[in-house]
Amino acid sequence: MLLSLSVQNYALIEQLNINFSNQFATITGETGAGKSILLGALGLIMGNRADLASLKDKEKKCVVEASFEISKYNLKSLFISNDLDYEDTTIIRREILPSGKSRAFINDTPVNLSELQLLAENLIDIHSQHQTRELEQQNYQISILDAMGSNAQNLNEYTILLSDFKLKSKELEQAIADKNALFTAQEYNTYLLNELFQIGLQTNEQEELETELLSLNNSELITETLSKLVSSATDEQFGFISSIKDCKIALQKIAGFSSSYAEVFERLQSALIELEDIADTTFHLAEKNTYNPERLEFISNRLQTIYDLQKKHQVTSIEELLEIQNQLSEKVLLVDNLDEKIAKLNSYLANKTTELNSVANLISQNRGKAIPVFVSKISAILQELGMPDSQFKMDLNTSNSFLSNGKDELELLFSANKGTSLGSFKKVASGGEMSRIMLAIKAIIADFSKLPTILFDEIDTGVSGEIALKMGEIMKKMSANRQVFAITHLPQIASKGDSQYKVLKETILENTISKIVKLNSEERIIEIAEMLSGKQITESAVSHAKTLLN
């Protein structure tokens, strides 16, 4: 329940601190006195967007704070899941800074608006006039049956199954789309892959072939050069190896005379060994270097094929062609993999469809059982509210698809008067009838679920007299199990409150402010008498006010 509300610097409110009881409270005041301001302040507590224009003094921050007793609301798990400190008396605070920035706190812990809204919807239900149109919406109508049919657990299970079902359905759609896209290019990809496989590319092959081609193209020059080198090295009379050997023999004779001579001798000996090796290698290279036109043609053709493939695939190396080959292999194999994936997803979705249908059937059965109970109860309440001949009919039809709350489509038919045929609810119910029906529905649901604090904002629109008294009595009855507020212009409803608050507007030194005060017994008589007769309060109005209050 809402224990207290504190408002600072909001709209026409400079400072407001007010406490509430758990009984039925009515809120009255002239049009324009500031009741909408009070609703706006509560809206901030519920997570509505803040507006810098709401600041009365633009140089100061606006603070709205409300405390709630929540020990009976079973909300500890919500606090734990959002990493919030749980308190039986929980305080929600909103601040609007002059800069326009808005902040929200739950038990002094900063929270974002989505977290605040999640908690607030479990604490207070503000029913304004425009929300009566919710009755026209099929989802709201079905939610009434779910509350009466105790479908909360089934709906939770259904929601989890449906979320998984939709996720896997999207995966299946994507897999089929991928397969179709790949299948279109499958033939061409296979051709490209076979083309690369047939040539049998090897890493570093291009560089080796290009080197060999260069040698074959210059075979004559290479042979001439190598032969000349071998001849210069090995000629018995004029070869430089023979000359160096003679020098080695001469140096060997004097090497023992000095370490310097010995060093020169060793260096010459090493050079001789290296030169002999060079001459030997050159000789073998000269032997191998033979002109081979067949090999030349093969290499030329092989390289041209490689160059053509590189141009075709817009790359410059064999390594890149091999990477493309791997990618094409994966694409070709992917079609087979997708077939397997699609088969598994179809099987999975078939099982989930069975599970969803099973839970949806349970939900539908509970709704079907709730319909006669609902029709009976609402007819009884509406009879008290001056609609004795009203008729309701609810038809459940099974949809071919899974909806967000099951597979039921609901058709609500209504007739307010005897002899009038049933018609679509949203087409035949008037504004006054909608208000009474909504109150009746709230009263019914209150017996089947733990509603939070409920605030009716002029739900009495379009009614008066005895009907208004009955509406007041119904709201008072509802307050036996929950906290109920009613903003009203009707004295009949105002008088039914266990307590009454008045919203009023005052002008002090050209400064207009709104405030809300709790009325004592005498003040209630005057307020209700004024609601009956206007500013000129008559004795009969006072007497009538006392009668209403008694």
Q: Would you say 442 and 134 are in contact if contact means Cβ atoms under 8 Å apart?
A: no
**In a domain? residue 534:** no
Q: Answer yes or no: do 231 and 315 share one domain.
A: yes
Q: Mapping DSSP to helix (H, G, I), strand (E, B) and coil, where does residue 449 land? A: coil
Picking from 244, 313, 319, 306, the residue whose alpha carbon sits closest to that of residue 275 is 244
- Evaluate whether residue 104 is within a structural domain: yes
The better pLDDT of the pair 467, 188 is held by 467
Distance in angstroms (rounded) separating the CA atoms of residues 7 and 90: 17
Whether residue 357 lies inside any domain: the answer is: no
Within-domain flag for 420: no
Q: How many CA atoms lie within 13 A of 332 on its CB side?
A: 14
User: Are 188 and 96 found together in one domain?
Assistant: no
Taking only Cα atoms into account, the Rg of the chain, rounded to an integer number of angstroms, comes to: 47
- Distance, in Å, from the CA atom of 340 to the CA atom of 405, rounded to the nearest integer, reads 32
Q: Do 456 and 127 touch, CB atoms closer than 8 A?
A: yes
Span 344-391, pLDDT tens digits = 999 999 999 999 999 999 999 999 999 999 999 989 998 888 888 888
pLDDT (0 to 100) of residue 355: 95
Residue 4 structure tokens: 């207290």
Do 69 and 191 share a domain, yes or no? no
Report the pLDDT averaged over residues 446-467: 80
Tell me the mean pLDDT in the region 263-281: 87
Q: Which amino acid is at 527?
A: E
Decide: 331 and 181 in contact? Cβ < 8 Å. no
Same domain, residue pair 116 and 184? no
Percent of the chain with pLDDT over 70: 97
- 204/292 same-domain check: yes
What's residue 103's pLDDT? 92
Domain endpoint, select from 304, 321, 337:
337
Element spanning 403, H or E: strand 391-403
Residue 371's nearest CA partner among 390, 395, 406 is 395
Task: Report the distance separating Cα 359 and Cα 350, nearest Å.
Answer: 15
User: Lowest mean pLDDT: which of 75-79, 157-161, 209-213, 538-542?
Assistant: 209-213
Which among 104, 109, 113, 67 has a CA at the least distance from the CA of 88? 67
Read off the tokens for 405: 């709350």
What torsion, rounded to 10 degrees, do the Cα atoms 137, 138, 141, 143 define?
-110
pLDDT digits (tens, 9 = 90+) for 274-294: 888 888 888 888 777 777 788
| Contacts of residue 142, Cβ cutoff 8 Å, sequence gap at least 6 | 367, 405, 406, 408, 410
Same domain? 195 vs 332 = yes
User: Do residue 92 and residue 223 come from a single domain?
Assistant: no
* pLDDT given at position 129: 63
- Residues making up the chain, counted from first to last: 550
In a domain, 440, yes or no: no
Say if residue 323 is in the same domain as residue 199: yes
DSSP state for residue 236 in the 8-state scheme: T
pTM of the model: 0.65
The β-bridge relationship of strands 499-508 and 511-518 is antiparallel
Do 115 and 185 belong to one domain? no
How many domains does the chain contain in total? 2
User: Of 315, 337, 359, which residue constitutes the final position of a domain?
Assistant: 337
Residues 6+ apart with CB under 8 A from 355: 161
Contact 485, 454 (CB under 8 A): yes
Decide if 9 contacts 55 (C-beta within 8 A): yes
Tokens of 420: 């009038």
Taking the C-alpha atoms of residue 162 and residue 355, their distance in angstroms, rounded to an integer, is 10
Q: Which structural domain, as residue segments, surrounds residue 466?
A: 1-123+452-519
| Sequence-separated (6 or more) residues with CB below 8 Å from residue 515 | 13, 16, 34, 503, 504, 506
CB 65 within 8 A of CB 13: no
Lowest mean pLDDT segment, chosen from 10-14, 44-48, 425-429: 425-429
Scanning 237-317, the segments in alpha helix (DSSP H) are: 240-254, 259-288, 293-313
The answer to the question of residue 365 being in a domain is: no
Judgement on whether residues 69 and 198 belong to the same structural domain of the protein: no
Question: Are 234 and 312 part of one and the same domain?
Answer: yes
| Same domain as 311, residue 198 | yes
Q: In CATH, what number is assigned to the domain containing residue 5? A: 3.40.50.300
Q: Which of 321, 337, 353 is the last residue of a domain?
A: 337
